[in-house]
Structure 1
Amino acid sequence: MYAKEYGQAITRRNVLKVLGSLAAGAGAGGGLLAAGCASTSHNDGPQVKWSKGTELPRTRVPADACDSHHHIYDSRYPWAPEVVLKSGDATVADYKKLQQRLGTTRNVIVQPSGYGIDNRLLVESIAAFNGRARGVAVVNAKVTDAELQRLNAAGVRGIRFNLQQTGATTVDMVQPLATRIAAMGWHVQINAPTDIIYQARDVWARLPCPVVFDHLAHVNQTSDPVFAMVLGLMQSGRGWVKLSGFYIDTKVGPPGYDDQVAVASAYAQAVPGRCVWGSDWPHPTEQAEKGVPDDAVLLDAFARAVPTEAVRKQILVDNPSRLYFS
Structure 2
Amino acid sequence: MKFEKTPGWLDWYANPSKPHFVLPPGSVDAHCHVFGPGEHFPYAEERKYTPCDASKQQLFALRDHLGFSRNVIVQATCHGADNRAMVDACLAANGKARGVATVRRDVSDETLQALHAAGVRGVRFNFVKRLVDFTPKAALQEIAARIAPLGWHIVVYFEAQDLGELRDFFTALPTVVVVDHMGRPDVRQPVDGPAFSAFVELMTQHPHIWSKVSCPERLSVTGPAALNGERQSYRDVVPFARHLVEQFPDRVLWGTDWPHPNLNNAMPDDGLLVDFIPLIAETALLQRKLLVDNPMRLYWPEEI
1:174 correspondence with 2:140:
yes
Q: Which amino acid aligns with 2:260?
A: H
Deviations 1:205-243 (A, max 9, x none): 111111111112101343454533433443332111111
Q: Which amino acid aligns with 1:134?
A: R
2:162 to 175, 193, 196: 196
1:169–1:127 CA distance, 2 compared to 1 (3 A): farther
Return closer, same or farther for 1:260/1:91 CA change in 2, 3 Å cut-off: same
Provide the residue aligned with 2:238 in structure 1.
261
Q: Is the 8 A contact 2:105 2:140 kept in 1?
A: no
1:3 aligned partner? none
The residue that corresponds to 2:3 in the other structure is none
The answer on 1:213 being equivalent to 2:167 is no
Which of 248, 260, 265 is equivalent to 1:271?
Answer: 248
Residue 146 of structure 1, CA deviation: 1.6
Identical-pair percentage: 37
Which consecutive segments of 4 or more residues in structure 1 shift more than 6 A? none
The 8 Å contact of residues 16 and 270 in structure 2, kept in 1 or not, is answered as no
Q: CA separation of 1:223/1:170 partners in 2, compared to 1, >3 Å: closer, same or farther? A: farther
Q: Say how many residue pairs are matched.
A: 276
2:152 is aligned with 1:186: yes
* CA distance in 2 between partners of 1:170 and 1:227 (Å): 26
Whole-angstrom CA distance in 2 between matches of 1:180 and 1:241: 23
TM superposition shift of 1:143: 1.1
Q: State the match for 2:276 in structure 1.
A: 301
- Contact persistence 2:77–2:131 (CA under 8 A): no
**Aligned counterpart for 2:220 among listed residues 250, 270, 280:** 250
Partner of 1:67: 29
Judge conservation of contact 1:86–1:284 (CA < 8 Å) in 2: no
Q: 2:211 corresponds to which residue?
A: 241
Instruction: Tell me what 2:76 maps to.
Output: 112
Residue in structure 2 matched with residue 130 of structure 1 by the alignment? 94
SS at match of 2:100: strand
Letter in 1 for 2:132: G
Q: How far apart, CA to CA, are the structure 2 residues paired with 1:320 and 1:163? A: 23
**Structure exhibiting the larger radius of gyration computed from Cα positions:** 1
Q: Name the SS of the counterpart of 1:259 in structure 2.
A: coil
Distance in structure 2 (CA, Å) of the matches to 1:218 and 1:105: 27
Q: Kindly report the root-mean-square deviation, in angstroms, between the aligned alpha carbons of the 2 structures.
A: 1.7
> 1:166 offset after TM fit, Å?
5.1
1:231 equivalent in alignment to 2:208? no
Deviation (angstroms), 1:65: 0.2
Contact 2:17 2:269 in 1 (8 A): no
Partner of 1:88: 52
Task: Give the alignment's TM-score, normalised by structure 1.
Answer: 0.80
Contact 1:215–1:244, Cα closer than 8 Å, also in 2: yes
Flag the 1:220–1:309 CA change in 2: closer, same or farther, 3 A: farther
Whole-angstrom distance in 1 between the partners of 2:155 and 2:122: 7
Q: State the SS of the aligned residue for 1:161.
A: strand
After superposition, the Cα gap between the structure-2 partners of 1:324 and 1:224, relative to the gap in structure 1 and judged at 3 Å, is farther
Query: SS of 1:61's equivalent?
Result: coil
1:52 and 1:259 map into 2 onto residues whose CA distance is 25
Q: Counterparts of 2:132 and 2:244 in 1: how far apart (Å)?
A: 29
- Secondary structure in 1 aligned to 2:275? helix
Structure 2, unaligned runs of 5 or more:
1-10, 226-232
**Is 2:221–2:236's contact at 8 Å kept on the other side of the alignment?**
yes
Residues 138, 159 of structure 1: 8 Å contact kept: yes
